[in-house]
């Protein structure tokens, strides 16, 4: 009786904390390594596909159709769509490219490369293009339909410009890997850095809510919210779930924030002005390294992953008790002990039914460095040892996958 009561209680709490859910509808993988995604006003989806170029897709609510493809070399990372339908690609070591799209094919209409490493691109409502250009900082461009003109350049000082967004007032926000968040004003000929804040982590992506709140995907530091008063930032909320590596961020018209986590899949959050609440989580063991997320014109959540293409999810409220909750909540992954450690540590986990268990170790860059376990285990609690004699000091992540359950925790090797 005690066991049944406890399991029922956990289900109630879990559904109260996460009153919404994701439902995976479909996926498509045409090769390459999907990094960035953007949606035009007519619902066409554009995918920046590292080593594969640019692809266009239609989506009818249940399936994708690839309608066009072009590859001009380089490594497509970021993508944005202008108000006139022009598609802009941040193409890593190839710079910035513009494309027209007629529904069945692309035409490359302009190209410029001012060095640096183009990571992300956004377009101001007035048509100005802003490029987060790695160690080269932030650049502004005008586009006349056939060529680009670099109108301004702002050095990011330390770090590397990784993500960029612009609000309705024309203020530009840069997620600056190793350096936090910066904002710039632009007068048509110059960029001026007006504010800076660094709360640690490695800033990767940035987006802006309809009320002006800035949301920062901060890799090993999770998700942060900021207010900006024209001269300074105030950090108003922070959350880090499962030590996940937050990479891409997007916000829908209702204010729900969606995060693409390298090793943890897709998460959604509500924000009340002072705190975040994680409302839903989805992880599919078939994919790894979730890089980007965008909202379709019909509210569909589009998640792009390095090795497995693009996934479409619906996001909706749920009612009643999830009958799977008692099973999922019976899984557990404990914090390794000791932690920090040198050179060995133990990892404990529990599973409620006999199933295959996979435990892998990743470094701080998200690269897999060891497989500790990949075999069937009986239901119960188990321990494994990780010997890091051949590894250098630093932060590592260990991840368990068993059926539909997955979890990530951080550990520190300190020599």
pLDDT for residue 99: 98
- Phi and psi at 389, nearest 5°, equal -60, -30
Question: What is the maximal distance between C-alpha atoms in the chain?
Answer: 73
Residues 256-301 have pLDDT tens digits of: 999 999 888 899 999 999 999 999 998 876 666 889 999 998 889 9
The ranges of the chain with pLDDT < 70 are 1-19, 156-159, 243-244, 285-288, 317-329
Return the CATH class of domain 20-317.
mainly beta
Instruction: Determine the Cα–Cα distance for residues 37 and 50; give it in Å rounded to an integer.
Output: 12
Identical fold between 20-317 and 325-413: no
Question: So where are the chain's domains?
Answer: 20-317, 325-413
The Cα-based distances of 6 to 82, 87, 326 in angstroms read 53, 53, 9
How many angstroms separate the CA atoms of 258 and 265, rounded?
Answer: 10
Query: According to the model, what pLDDT value does residue 328 have?
Result: 39
Q: List residues bridging with 233 in a β-sheet.
A: 228
pLDDT tens string 37-66: 999 989 999 999 988 999 999 998 889 999
pLDDT of residue 286: 60
Cis geometry, peptide bond prior to residue 340 (ω within 30 degrees of 0): yes
pLDDT at 350: 87
pTM: 0.74
Stated length of the chain = 415
Q: Which two tokens stand for residue 273?
A: 């002005």
- For residue 411 the two structure tokens come to 């550990």
How many other C-beta atoms are found inside a 10 Å radius of the C-beta of residue 18?
18
User: Which fold is adopted by the domain 325-413?
Assistant: Immunoglobulin-like (2.60.40)
The 10 Å Cβ neighbour count of residue 390 is 8
Q: What is the mean pLDDT of the chain?
A: 86
């Amino acid at each position: 009786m005690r066991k049944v009561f406890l399991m029922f209680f956990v289900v109630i709490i879990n559904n109260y904390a996460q009153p919404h859910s994701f439902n995976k509808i479909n996926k498509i993988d045409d090769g390459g390594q999907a990094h960035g995604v953007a949606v035009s006003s007519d619902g066409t989806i554009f995918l920046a596909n590292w080593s594969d170029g640019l692809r266009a897709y239609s989506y009818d609510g249940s399936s994708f159709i690839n309608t066009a493809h072009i590859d001009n070399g380089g490594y497509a990372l970021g993508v944005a769509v202008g108000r006139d339908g022009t598609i802009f690609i941040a193409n890593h070591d190839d710079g910035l490219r513009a494309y027209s799209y007629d529904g069945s094919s692309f035409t490359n209409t302009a190209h410029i490369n001012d060095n640096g490493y183009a990571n992300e691109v956004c377009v101001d409502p007035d048509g100005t293009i802003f490029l987060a250009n790695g160690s080269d900082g932030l650049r502004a461009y005008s586009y006349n339909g056939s060529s680009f003109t670099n109108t301004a350049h702002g050095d990011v000082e330390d770090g590397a410009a990784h993500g960029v967004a612009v609000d309705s007032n024309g203020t530009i926000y840069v997620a600056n890997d190793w350096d936090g968040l910066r904002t710039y004003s632009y007068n048509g000929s110059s960029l001026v850095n007006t504010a800076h804040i660094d709360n640690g982590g490695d800033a990767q992506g940035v987006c802006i809510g309809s009320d002006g709140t800035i949301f920062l995907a901060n890799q090993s530091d999770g998700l942060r919210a900021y207010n900006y008063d024209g001269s300074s930032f105030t950090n108003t909320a922070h959350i880090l779930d499962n030590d996940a590596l937050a990479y891409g961020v997007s916000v829908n018209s209702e204010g729900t924030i969606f995060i693409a986590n390298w090793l943890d899949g897709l998460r959604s959050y509500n924000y009340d002005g002072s705190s975040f609440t994680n409302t839903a989580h989805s992880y599919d063991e078939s994919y790894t390294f979730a890089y980007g997320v965008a909202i379709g014109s019909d509210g569909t959540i589009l998640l792009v992953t390095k090795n497995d293409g693009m996934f479409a999810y619906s996001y909706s409220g749920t009612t009643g008790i999830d009958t799977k909750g008692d099973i999922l909540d019976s899984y557990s992954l404990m914090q390794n002990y000791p932690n920090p450690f040198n050179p060995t540590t133990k990892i404990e986990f529990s599973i409620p039914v006999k199933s295959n268990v996979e435990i892998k170790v990743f470094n701080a860059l998200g690269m897999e460095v060891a497989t500790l376990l990949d075999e069937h285990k009986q239901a119960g609690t188990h321990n494994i040892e990780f010997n890091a004699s051949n590894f250098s000091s630093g932060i590592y992540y260990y991840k368990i996958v068993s059926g539909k359950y997955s979890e990530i925790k951080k550990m520190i090797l300190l020599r």
